[in-house]
Structure 1
């Protein structure tokens, strides 16, 4: 396999709109993650949508992972027009999102609950960050590619 074959592999696999396909799948994955279990704690499970609605209160518990969401949305929105900025947002968003694994307890009006684990919604949400990074990378490759006939 020569260098030219490697550089166009995603386009061969997904077609010319590889970035759009990856980005579309990322958006679908993000929405699906809202309906799946994100956090399992000693009292119940929290779905991704609930975590999204209440996660901005995370700093009260010492967690800033929720703030990765605006970076993810930014990266999704700008992955085609500003792929460099989108890649940076996806990278830093992913780093911030990984801090979710540092959550040990969730405060509640009835005390606090011990976090027992993380569900598929959390992992699907985390997978959105590298996926949008890849979509941005494919967009940047497409924008630098010479037009047919050049």
Structure 2
């Protein structure tokens, strides 16, 4: 396994944010970036797959010093990410109505792939390296990708097209009554 598995994993994660994450009925799509931003609200609906994101971040941070723990946390993130295949309905940020999921987009599979690459690379280095200092450390590509990821998330929170009012989802407006 090349020493750049961490960089590849981070690049896959960053690139996943620029594609659709979920395909819904009525021709709607939910971008993966939007799914990342609104994921914590899934807890209110019993969907815990979003927690794969902070677990992956924790595993990436611990990949060298605590390589076996990082593998375990990365595997837990992969398990949660695979669990998102069971999601059946998602709200959109236009009508706040729930739509059935008809499939998953490229962004979802790149996100899943980033966790798979991390786990495979970490597993390789857990078997190969005898000491923590033998595991590849951070390089400039990793730092650049993490900075790009942070910038992408910041810009996404400022975009009006990604605004989402949680109270509209939890308590959608009542349909207009007609006589």
TM over 0.5: yes
Match of 2:14 among 24, 31, 36: 31
1:125-140 equivalences under 5 Å are: 125-140=111-126
Shift of 1:130: 1.9
**Are 1:75 and 2:59 counterparts?**
yes
Q: What residue is the counterpart of 2:43 in the other structure? A: 59
Within 2, Cα distance between the matches of 1:142 and 1:95? 24
**Are 1:92 and 2:94 counterparts?**
no
Q: Are the counterparts in 2 of residues 79 and 139 from structure 1 also a CA contact under 8 Å?
A: no
Q: What residue is the counterpart of 1:117 in the other structure? A: 103
- 3-state SS of the aligned residue for 1:144? coil
Q: CA RMSD in A?
A: 1.7
Q: Structure 1: give runs of 5+ residues left out of the alignment.
A: 1-9, 11-17, 146-150
Runs of 4+ in 1 over 6 A off after TM superposition: none
Within 1, Cα distance between the matches of 2:56 and 2:40? 15
Q: Deviations over 1:11-49 (max 9, x none)?
A: xxxxxxx2x311101000000001111101125211111
Within 2, Cα distance between the matches of 1:110 and 1:28? 31
Match of 2:91 among 86, 102, 107: 107
Within 1, Cα distance between the matches of 2:96 and 2:127? 52
Q: Structure 2: give runs of 5+ residues left out of the alignment.
A: 132-179
Q: Are the counterparts in 2 of residues 42 and 113 from structure 1 also a CA contact under 8 Å?
A: yes
**Are 1:42 and 2:28 counterparts?**
no
